[in-house]
Chains A and B, each alone.
Chain A
Amino acid sequence: MERKCGKCKTEEGIVWTTDGARCEDCFCVVTMHSVKTILSRNKLAMFKSRICVSSNPPSTSSAALMAVLDECLKPGPKRKASRMSFEVIVLHVRLPMELFGSGEKGKESMESLAKLYGFQFQEVQLEESIVTSLKAIRDLDDRIDLVQGAVRSSLIQKTKAMECSVLLVSPNATDLAVDVMAKTIKGRGGAIPDEVSPAMEYASVKIGRPFIELTARHVTRYSRLRKVDKYAVSTEFFNSPDSSLTRIAEKFVLQLQEMQPSTSTTVLRTAAKLRKNEAAMLCPACASRDVLIGRGADRVGRSRGSEDTHPLCAVCTEKDMNMSGETVVDLARAFCRATVNEFTLDTEEQE
């Protein structure tokens, strides 16, 4: 049965979305608008600026990101010139297979796609010492996390070297939901608030995630319609064995997504409500609970109107340790002073 596109009402709908059927052009326009909204709301694509775009991993998402940026820069059907104007520099960190990379193949594929769109392409090399150290890590999950960290650091350094202040990365909503689950089960829940925001500042570079509202299915459909899926190269990471926590989390999310298509967006929406509590410090007695120091307090922990520079959490304050509260505070202060003195002595000795 032929169904018309719900947007233009003229062409045949070929893609089914939550909003109904969409023809090819309208689907691509919807995707472009979603990306444009993220870019403009978070000031990621200022007029005549230079933007670095990561093509790691060389997946469908990375190829789709380049395609959608190309579309953003093209004039629309009713305008002579595009309202957006920025220069795109594609960065690629070449990783060996042991570090979940695609080697030369991935680099060539992304380079050819960048050239197709007239984007500048820059290869980023990891230092040999870092590659050797990463290869020596035996635990699979630790290696995955450290490789991701090394790639991010390298990309940020290159972005600064290219005199850009924005780096766009390609993870979509499904990738981020998997990342949230993986971070939770690895004990890195404190890092989640940064990883699920559309833009975050890191070492004076703004990292943007234009695909944060699009699922992997949506991005894959878009890349097929724009015919860039052939540029995607599979990496060792996706074939990693089930002993990897990240892979187990990915399988779990994808299985649930089959039953409930809103799984990724629900996880991201929940994670987006988490906040880094900056107005807090760790209790010096238990080192596990936060001590709120009030909105007006400075970061060294001085509460407004209080002389106590190292307040304890509620549980440690209440705890019956057969000591008076004052003695416990004195112990905590003594510990902090001793720690500071220890580091000061080391510095003085070095001098």
Chain B
Amino acid sequence: MAPKLCVLCAASRACLRRPKTSEAICKECFYSAFEDEIHETIVNENLFKPGEKIAVGASGGKDSTVLVHVLKLLNERYEYGLDLFLVSVDEGIKGYRDDSLDAVKRNQQEYELPLKIVSYSELYGWTMDQIVEKIGKKSNCTYCGVFRRQALDRGAEYVGADKIATGHNADDIAETVIMNFLRGDFPRLIRCSEAITGDSVGDSLPRVKPFKYTYEKEIVLYAHYKSLDYFATECIYSPEAFRGHARQFIKDIEVARARSIVDTIRSAEKFRTDPRTSSEQTLGACVNCGYMTSQKLCKACLLKQSLESDQKPDQGASQTKERGYHGR
């Protein structure tokens, strides 16, 4: 049987089937298609402006490693005029974060980009191992998520960045849409599909997602074929997360119809809120640490207080206006 030719160039032999489109294509065409789609997202969503300093959230995993590689490549190819920096967060998880940080340091040397590492122990006085030891594995992702967000903002501010680029891909965004529906988190549901989040006018740095329409499988394939150096292990505390249900659902629908991941994101883009009833939050500074918050204390300080006070954390339910999904 004759080898199958690439459907795009019809010259080289096809070596993979693109997860997004099921097309049989060669390596070079895959690289072009992958990089061009990300460039299209950057241009169409107007993610960057020339001269901006971009802090790339680098965890050493496949998404952030591919993000650094592609952003550097596209920055040179299309002359975005960006200054790239790497910002990494050390959560203090033994057997997981130490190895992935080594991968980040190797990437720093390879791409010759400045790197800033911020750690939970420096910022909050607690590592994730200590937090899990205290509260167990039930709500640890809540703590990690809140702490990591603030840590990334602080690291980006330290390097003088204008925006933060994260490696959130199409699968992540689709999972977030489903999760916010199940939790009844309406404000997050409305904004979770945006490629740029955060207020550039206020104190928080905008976050951009160049991988908004990029499939996780394609990121893995790209990293594999380009032989990129990354650390591929799941967080040891993550299997208990609620997101696991949404993730399994997304995987199931991807098997049935590959484009349903992008369809989910397109649906979320169509979601609208009633402008007469939606209310904007007034942002101020936390009285404790100065981080932006709509309450007196920011969420990180609240969680830190609950850790230090030996009380069961209420996860700020009495402080926040919108109640998340607690299964009641």
Contacts and interface: CB of A to CB of B under 8 A. Distances in A.
B256 A181 contact: no
Interface in A218-259: 242-245, 248-249, 252, 256, 259
A218 B45 CA distance: 46
A187 B266 contact: yes
A247 to B, nearest CB: 9
Contact of A181 (B50, B181, B184): B181
B78 interface: no
Contact of B249 (A187, A242, A252, A286): A252
B256 A271 contact: no
B45 A189 contact: no
Chain B binding surface SS class? helix
Contacts of A190: 267, 270
A243 B50 CA distance: 46
Interface in B3-58: 43-46, 49-50
Given A180-B181, A266-B184, A248 B256 contact: yes
Contacts of A263: 182
A277 B180 CA distance: 21
Nearest to A292: B275
A269 interface: yes
A351 interface: no
Nearest to B183: A266
B92 to A, nearest CB: 31
Contacts of B245: 252, 256
Interface stretch (A165-173, A202-210, A302-310, A315-323): A315-323
A276 B275 CA distance: 11
A319 B46 contact: yes
Contacts, number: 102
B266 A245 contact: no
A185 B267 contact: yes
B178 interface: yes
Interface in A278-303: 279-280, 286, 288, 290, 292
A274 B193 CA distance: 15
B45 A141 contact: no
A186 B259 CA distance: 9
Nearest to B260: A185
Interface string B209-224: 0000000000000000
A338 B308 CA distance: 67
Contact of B266 (A189, A273, A277, A315): A189
A275 interface: yes
B263 interface: yes
Contact of A245 (B253, B262, B268): B253
Contact of B272 (A187, A274, A315, A319): A274
Contacts of A248: 249, 252-253, 256
A187 B178 CA distance: 13
Interface of A: 141, 180-181, 183-190, 192, 242-245, 248-249, 252, 256, 259-260, 262-263, 266-267, 269-271, 273-277, 279-280, 286, 288, 290, 292, 315, 318-320
Given A141-B257, A252-B249, A262-B328, 15 more contacts: A184-B264, A189-B270, A189-B271, A244-B256, A245-B253, A248-B253, A248-B256, A263-B182, A269-B184, A270-B184, A274-B273, A288-B44, A292-B275, A318-B46, A319-B43
